[in-house]
């Protein structure tokens, strides 16, 4: 470590036109935008934050619209919307499986998972909605910076209604920004690989439509349509990176935050013959003799039946052929086959980017060792687990972030980096978990103390420091970080959060990225 950033630098000198509305009641609030009149709520947990939990931006992609590009909701300023309750997530398979997994058992608040009494999370094809958190005092003249967050979930799950991803504590604290989170189609409904379709990357189109809604309406909620940051985590980060290239000429956003992910986690398109979709169609007895009859039949099948079959097929390890996967597909329009070439030849948006990672990303994907809470046997199961953790950290996450940052530096593009290293018991209840994949989210959203007990003093300080650095980037992605002493990647401004009893420190990149010289030796698992 070279130097510590003084905590006093974390207080951002920002002048805004908002002021907290002091009250002790709980009730509804109303905002009229060009697309409708929206009723949201204010509650006692965050009394200075208006929450609009369900704002439709697209028509239900069901029936004849299933597997087609999204269509914007047709509405006007007089159309009334009840936005007081969270919408269902888009169709996905997320069964509760007890305590056998980090995300479905140990820390289920990180995913759109069901409870012990429900077989499935709440899902529906009527799911193209967004949620929005804005200060109560914000108005059209406030021009607050906006963050649009896209959840992770391996391209197969995710949504708005994820407990650790509610930002009300954060917006309540700062009163300086707006957060939007979105639903979008996932799995076979997002990337169908169907022969009868012209567009295969439908989830990306869903995200773009949501982004266009924010651009056109956020001013009514106190936001600045000229200061939008697209933040994606894991598969959401890969999606954000896709947007960086797919919409290079009209990005809408002013910056990107790739949180534990990039286009590097997108595998090559293997299903070029559309066999996966046809395999599913044949299971339901569809006539697959032509693309048209196959697609027509599949549109008549109940979405839950399709979701259940694809999900259970993936869980059944005895079924080896075919290996069903529905990931982004290279079409050279939305998703490309060679991103390195596009970057070095100036075919990205050129907007500033923040790349981040967690120190033990892979701990969330390796064997779960509930019975071994400490490394008492360094040559036994613990050693195996640490090896898997390292492989699944370097390959998909840490080393690609280093590579893309170096390429962007060479291209003269503004880039920032940090690493989260915290190991806090209410987020990582078993000591071996450490800073596993997604464990940074509760600190960024400010939800770290909502489950499994209160947060430590260091945890609170780390959370606030991460939030303040991110807010500096969002407010002004070119010059904002420098105002709090955070240099860009080209000038070795690599930050580490939550290590060695310190909330934030500046370190040398080689201390983190040095091992990446041999990262090709690892076969990281992607999410």
H or E element at residue 303: helix 303-315
Distance between CA 392 and CA 366 in Å, rounded? 8
Task: Give every CB contact of residue 104 below 8 A, 6+ residues apart in sequence.
Answer: 94, 95, 96, 97, 98, 111, 113
d(CA 470, CA 230): 12
Q: Catalytic annotation on 437?
A: yes
Contact yes or no for 204/168 (Cβ under 8 A):
no
The answer to whether 356 and 258 are in contact (CB under 8 A) is yes
d(CA 168, CA 181): 12
Collapsed DSSP state (helix, strand, coil) of residue 150: strand
Whether the CB-CB separation of 277 and 188 falls below 8 Å is answered with: yes
Question: CB within 8 A of 158, min separation 6: which ones?
Answer: 89, 92, 111, 112, 151, 152, 186, 235, 236
243 tagged catalytic: no
The SS3 of residue 329 is coil
**DSSP collapsed to 3 states, 121-145:** CCECCCCCEEEEEEECCCCCCCCEE
Distance CA 113, CA 104 (A): 7
d(CA 295, CA 297): 5
d(CA 517, CA 420): 21
Of the candidates 129, 142, 157, 234, the residue annotated as catalytic is 234
Is residue 283 part of the annotated active site? The answer reads: no
Catalytic residue among 109, 361, 390, 464: 361
SS3 95: coil
Residues 6+ away with beta carbon under 8 Å from 65:
59, 71
DSSP output for 254-299: SEEEEES--GGGSPP---TT-HHHHHHHHHTT---SSHHHHHHHHH
Helix (H, G, I), strand (E, B) or coil at 234: coil
Judged by DSSP in three states, 495 sits in strand
3-state helix, strand, coil in the chain (%, to 5): 35, 15, 50
- Residues 100-123 as b/e (b if ≥16 CB within 10 A, e otherwise) read ebbbbbbbbbbbbbbeeeeebbeb
Give the DSSP letter string of 372-428. --S-S-TTTHHHHHHHHHHHHHIIIIIHHHHHHHHHHHHTT--EEEEEE----TTTS
Find, among 247, 112, 133, the residue nearest to 184 by Cα. Answer: 112
Q: Provide the annotated active-site residues.
A: 234, 361, 437
């Amino acid at each position: 470590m070279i130097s510590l950033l003084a905590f006093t630098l974390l207080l951002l000198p920002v002048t805004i036109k908002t002021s907290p509305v002091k009250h002790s009641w709980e009730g509804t609030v109303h905002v009229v935008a060009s697309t409708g009149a929206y009723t949201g709520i204010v509650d006692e947990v965050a009394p200075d934050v208006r929450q609009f939990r369900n704002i439709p931006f697209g028509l239900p992609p069901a029936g004849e619209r299933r597997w087609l590009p999204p269509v914007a909701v047709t509405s006007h300023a007089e159309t009334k919307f009840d936005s007081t309750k969270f919408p269902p997530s888009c169709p996905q398979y997320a069964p509760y499986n007890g305590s056998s997994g980090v995300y479905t058992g140990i820390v289920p608040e990180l995913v759109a998972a069901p409870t012990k009494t429900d077989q499935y999370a709440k899902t529906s094809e009527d799911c193209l909605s967004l949620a929005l958190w804005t200060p109560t005092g914000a108005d059209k003249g406030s021009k607050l910076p906006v963050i649009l967050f896209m959840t992770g979930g391996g391209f197969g799950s995710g949504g708005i209604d994820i407990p650790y991803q509610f930002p009300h504590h954060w917006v309540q604290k700062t009163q300086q920004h707006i957060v939007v989170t979105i639903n979008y189609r996932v799995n076979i409904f997002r990337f169908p690989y169907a022969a009868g379709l012209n567009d295969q990357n439908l989830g990306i189109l869903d995200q773009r439509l949501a982004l266009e809604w924010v651009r056109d309406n956020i001013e009514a909620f106190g936001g600045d349509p000229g200061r939008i940051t697209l933040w994606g985590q894991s598969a959401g980060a890969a999606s954000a990176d896709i947007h960086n290239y797919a919409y290079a000429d009209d990005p809408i956003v002013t910056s990107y935050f790739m949180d534990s992910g990039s286009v590097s986690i997108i595998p090559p398109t293997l299903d070029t013959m559309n066999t996966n979709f046809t395999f599913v169609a044949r299971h339901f007895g569809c006539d697959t003799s032509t693309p048209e009859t196959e697609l027509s039949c599949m549109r008549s099948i109940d979405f839950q039946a399709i979701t259940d079959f694809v999900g259970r097929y993936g869980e059944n390890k005895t079924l080896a052929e075919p290996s069903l996967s529905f990931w982004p597909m290279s079409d050279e329009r939305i998703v490309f086959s060679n991103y390195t070439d596009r970057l070095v030849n100036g075919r990205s948006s050129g907007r500033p980017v923040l790349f981040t990672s967690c120190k033990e990303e892979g701990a969330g994907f390796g064997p779960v060792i509930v019975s071994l809470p400490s490394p008492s046997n360094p040559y036994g199961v613990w050693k195996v687990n640490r090896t898997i953790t390292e492989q699944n950290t370097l390959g998909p996450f840490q080393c690609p972030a280093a590579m893309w940052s170096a390429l962007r530096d060479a291209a003269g593009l503004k880039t920032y980096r940090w690493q989260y290293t915290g190991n806090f018991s209410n987020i990582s209840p078993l000591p071996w978990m450490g800073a596993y994949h997604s464990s940074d989210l509760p600190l960024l959203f400010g939800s770290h103390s909502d489950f499994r007990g209160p947060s430590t003093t260091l945890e609170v300080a780390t959370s606030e420091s991460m939030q303040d650095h991110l807010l500096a980037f969002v407010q002004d992605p070119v010059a904002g970080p420098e105002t709090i002493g955070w240099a860009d990647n080209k000038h070795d401004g690599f930050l580490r959060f939550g290590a060695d009893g310190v909330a934030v420190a500046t370190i040398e990149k080689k201390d983190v990225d040095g091992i990446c010289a041999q990262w090709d030796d690892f076969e990281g698992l992607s999410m």
